[in-house]
Chain A
Amino acid sequence: MSLRGWALAVLLGLGGGAIALSAQSGIGFQPMGQAIGVGTHADPIPGGGGRTELRLTQPVLMGMASAWRGRVQGTLTLNFESLTIPSGELTPGAWGEGYVDRRHPHTTVHELVVATPDLLGTASRGISIGLVAGKGFVPFGTDDPMVRPFLRYPVNHHWAQVLERAIVVLQAERGPVTVEAALFNGDEPERASQWPLLRLPDGRWRFGDSRALRATIRPLTGLELQGSVASILSPEHRPAAGGVAKKRSASARWDDRPEWGRRYAMVEWAHTDELEGTFRFRSLLAEASLRRGRWEVGYRVESTDRPEEERLDDPFRSLRPHLENSILGIGRWTIHTARISRELADPDLPLRVSPFVEGSLGSVRKLDAGVFDPVGLYGSTSVRQFSVGVVIGWGMRHHRMGRYGVLSTTHDHSYHTP
């Protein structure tokens, strides 16, 4: 049986196995959820001028289950952004899945993953072998922006995370080192109701046409170093006519929780080559937050390249699926974001009620002689965004989305939130 065949068998078998095991051994279940009510003013927008919108973003419900003394885990995340922000979230610089200067809504079934963190029962001997299957995050890059301290998705979301794919991940962990290898489908979603494409009508497999490898090292308590590579076939063209995106990511993350609160910092480098190096995009990002008592402040700076594409009559949309492989140029977005929030609920409780104020200042400039013209498009090269809102959540305060199997048990808080 081919590697793809084995992976598919795992994809289907783990699901059935999990149901059977759960039935035998009882289920531990942990519900979580989150939503952010926010008003955002962005200036400029395509065509010039500013716009203010009130939206409910990131409305998610999560269920995390474990069975058979934690040897089988399940994750289900439902995301209702297709209902609350069908036209996307106003975010200058954001792009992907046919949305431009708006962050696209995610698919309704955001995660549906079954994992075993100790497949061979060897964890007690210092080596854990994990297996993950389902729809979810590819082991590549850094944490999803939804579980980081800022409302604003960074411009580099599509360079630094790969999500909503059909995945099979094999994990190995020994001491502070975790290595993950994944097979998945290259296509990213075209709409909220869409599932990953496993096979094309002509019989070619989409599942398994893309691969990722991530190594994570934790040399000190609180410090996590990550390096990952991925080869993704035609991410923006579901029928697989596009080229291969070669991606690399490296990051260092600090996260500790002294008695007085929390310290978090992350620096990240991401690079993507498309069409054999015809287009090269890079991103540098650094962010930090400090929580003391009920107050939390955060700051992020990023400098990220973005492909500038032909827009439709709706200037917040670009053509999908693509008709050709050309772009209008590359824009470099440099954005500074600052945030302050106050927790109203007891920090020791799973409930989270956090009003916040967040502002971004930045600029965009063209990197080449292409016809992309930020002044012509926006009327300015300056970027401003201001948001006021409140995060309401349950159980998600320490959650790191997309950390499955061996990564969920010993280093994160996914299955340990009170």
Chain B
Amino acid sequence: MSASIRLTAVLLLPLAASACSDPPVAPIDPAIVTLVSGNNQTGPVSTVLAAPFTVRAVDDLGDPIVGRRVRWNPVVGGGTITPGEGVTDANGRASATLTLGATAGPNSARAAVDGGSAEILFSATATAIVANPTPQLVSVVSVPPTYGHHDTFVRDGLAFVCAWNAGVYIYDVGNGIRNGSPNDPRLVSNLITATNGVPGGAQVHNAWWFHNPVTNQKRYLFIGQEGPGTVGVSSSGDIHVVDVSNLAAPVEVATLNVGQAGAHNFWMDEARQILYAAYYNGGVIAVDVSGTLTGDISNRIIGQVKPGGPNATFVWGVMLAGGRLYVSDMVSGFWVLNPTTLATLGGGNNVPTQFVSDLTVNGTTAYTGGWGTRAGVRGNTIRIWDVTTTTPAQVGELMIDNATTVSDVAVTPGGGFLVATAEGGAGAGLYVYSLANPRAPVLRGSVAVTGGLHTGEVSVINGRTYVFTAKNPGAGNTPEMRVYDITGTVTP
């Protein structure tokens, strides 16, 4: 269409509109549509294909057609495609992503461009997820040997790798910002937080990316610094607040210090904008993290409690579940607190023979790990608790042979499986238990890891279940983030 004809059409439009009840239909130039990429992919059922389908529309001179509508529809296989409708970009391209159907077999989807020369049919194959008890190692990311990788926080396809004095590394593991995936983590950025005068350096131990439902911001990353201490009596290290509005250039904006105590694991009540932090001999603190965080935010502490008392408190972890705040104290055991007042509701002094490590709660059942050796008893057990009431009652126990520590426990989304990491001997590694009966977990699969895994963070990405683990440095080995795909393990 020439420019003069196009102008005439535009000028006549108001007249046509006034003369007819039907809206005018502008003539559409024919488009030559071609398939650019994404055809013939394969992926597990119910997962998103790794690459989008892309078509391109050009005119008869080969110039890209911009803003032309493209409709996408699944054809075979029962999958879904998003977006259902789009427009071509400045290069004449449009893309959509197919989520494969739940049944193994061929899948296809169709792209129809307005005025297009032909519809484009994309094909894909959905493969069945094979039940396989053994966790599958899908990627390894080396971490600088500055004591190594301690913990990982995964959310929105981003993995925040807490790598001690090397700081926090942000990896795209499915977010899209760097086209990363769990099989191919892509570095987004790295930040070494301030030492704040704590001997030993930044000592980045753990993190929590705050998604604030009140402001809809995803601005702040809270980081725990684990400074030197003597287990059971003293600790050090601050909470560091990092502004990750620009994920590629995070900036530390605030810190929080609790005198004579150091930070450990976090949990958040995001709706109430409260950060709960385990603080070793400082007990548990609750911090108001609403609004803008800057500078010293120590005055935002709204509560602190030492569940075991001043001389028997060394809190490892906290978790908010079912309106209660659960606390694992290495020395004084497993507690239940009121999350608003931090008043003790029940529990405590219930694990006298072991040091307690991490905790996780799944409905009316909770699980705690053990640490090190106490009075000759190793911490290689997972204790199972009935938390129907506010007084936890131990109802069972799992043992991991040839290890001293179960340093992390977590439950997969939906509560079907318990994941644990172990350290301290030949039994070190990753363990996955079926929770068909939550009070009697059954080992489903495991993998031994020389040197042990310090932590494991469970995350579902594109329909598959992964554990992002922190592998300890062994003799001659560097510390690593190891990503295990346990989709097969958690498939019946």
The residues of A with any CB-CB pair to B shorter than 8 Å are 47-48, 190-191, 202, 237, 239, 241-243, 275-279, 310-315, 319-330, 368-371, 373, 376-377, 379
CA distance A243 to B202 in the complex (A): 12
A311 and B404 contacting across the interface, CB-CB below 8 Å: yes
CA distance A276 to B198 in the complex (A): 9
What is the distance, in angstroms, from B433's C-beta to the closest C-beta of chain A?
Answer: 21
B147 and A322 contacting across the interface, CB-CB below 8 Å: yes
Given A313-B404, A320-B475, answer yes or no on A376-B147 (Cβ-Cβ < 8 Å): no
Chain A CB within 8 A of B93 CB? no
Find the B residue at minimum CB distance from A244: B199
B231 and A370 contacting across the interface, CB-CB below 8 Å: yes
Given A320-B475, A371-B374, answer yes or no on A329-B231 (Cβ-Cβ < 8 Å): yes
Find the A residue at minimum CB distance from B149: A323
A325: B residues at CB distance < 8 A = 147, 199-200, 203, 226-229
B426: A residues at CB distance < 8 A = 313
CA distance A242 to B199 in the complex (A): 10
Can you list 6 A-B pairs, Cβ within 8 angstroms, ordered by A? A243-B200, A310-B405, A314-B425, A328-B231, A328-B372, A371-B355
Chain A CB within 8 A of B486 CB? no
> Which of B205, B228, B355, B424 is the most central at the interface, judged by chain A CB atoms within 10 Å of its CB?
B228
Find the B residue at minimum CB distance from A330: B230
Inter-chain residue pair count (beta carbon < 8 A): 127
> Which of B145, B165, B234 is the most central at the interface, judged by chain A CB atoms within 10 Å of its CB?
B145
A190 and B403 contacting across the interface, CB-CB below 8 Å: no
A320: B residues at CB distance < 8 A = 475
> Which of B378, B404, B405, B427 is the most central at the interface, judged by chain A CB atoms within 10 Å of its CB?
B404
Chain A CB within 8 A of B150 CB? yes
A239 and B425 contacting across the interface, CB-CB below 8 Å: no
A48 and B472 contacting across the interface, CB-CB below 8 Å: no
A275: B residues at CB distance < 8 A = 199-200, 228
A48: B residues at CB distance < 8 A = 376
B402: A residues at CB distance < 8 A = 313
Find the B residue at minimum CB distance from A369: B233
| B 106-125 contacts with A by CB, 8 A | none
CA distance A323 to B146 in the complex (A): 9
B231 and A327 contacting across the interface, CB-CB below 8 Å: yes
**Which listed residue (B147, B199, B233) contacts A237, Cβ 8 A?**
B147
| B 172-229 contacts with A by CB, 8 A | 199-201, 203, 205, 226-229
What is the distance, in angstroms, from A402's C-beta to the closest C-beta of chain B?
Answer: 27
What is the distance, in angstroms, from B279's C-beta to the closest C-beta of chain A?
Answer: 14
Q: Mostly helix, strand, loop or mixed at chain A's interface?
A: loop
A312: B residues at CB distance < 8 A = 404, 424-425
Given A237-B147, A325-B203, A326-B235, answer yes or no on A368-B376 (Cβ-Cβ < 8 Å): no
Chain A CB within 8 A of B438 CB? no
A371 and B232 contacting across the interface, CB-CB below 8 Å: yes
| B 352-405 contacts with A by CB, 8 A | 355, 372-376, 378, 402-405
**Which listed residue (B232, B355, B404, B454) contacts A323, Cβ 8 A?**
B454
CA distance A77 to B97 in the complex (A): 68
Find the A residue at minimum CB distance from B407: A323
A190 and B199 contacting across the interface, CB-CB below 8 Å: no
Given A276-B199, A323-B454, A329-B231, answer yes or no on A241-B375 (Cβ-Cβ < 8 Å): no
A370 and B147 contacting across the interface, CB-CB below 8 Å: no
| B 224-249 contacts with A by CB, 8 A | 226-236
B147 and A321 contacting across the interface, CB-CB below 8 Å: yes
**Which listed residue (B230, B232, B330, B424) contacts A313, Cβ 8 A?**
B424
A190: B residues at CB distance < 8 A = 475
A311 and B146 contacting across the interface, CB-CB below 8 Å: no
B425 and A373 contacting across the interface, CB-CB below 8 Å: no
Find the B residue at minimum CB distance from A378: B376
**Which listed residue (A324, A368, A370) contacts B203, Cβ 8 A?**
A324
Given A243-B199, A371-B374, answer yes or no on A321-B228 (Cβ-Cβ < 8 Å): no
B472 and A323 contacting across the interface, CB-CB below 8 Å: yes
Chain A CB within 8 A of B164 CB? yes
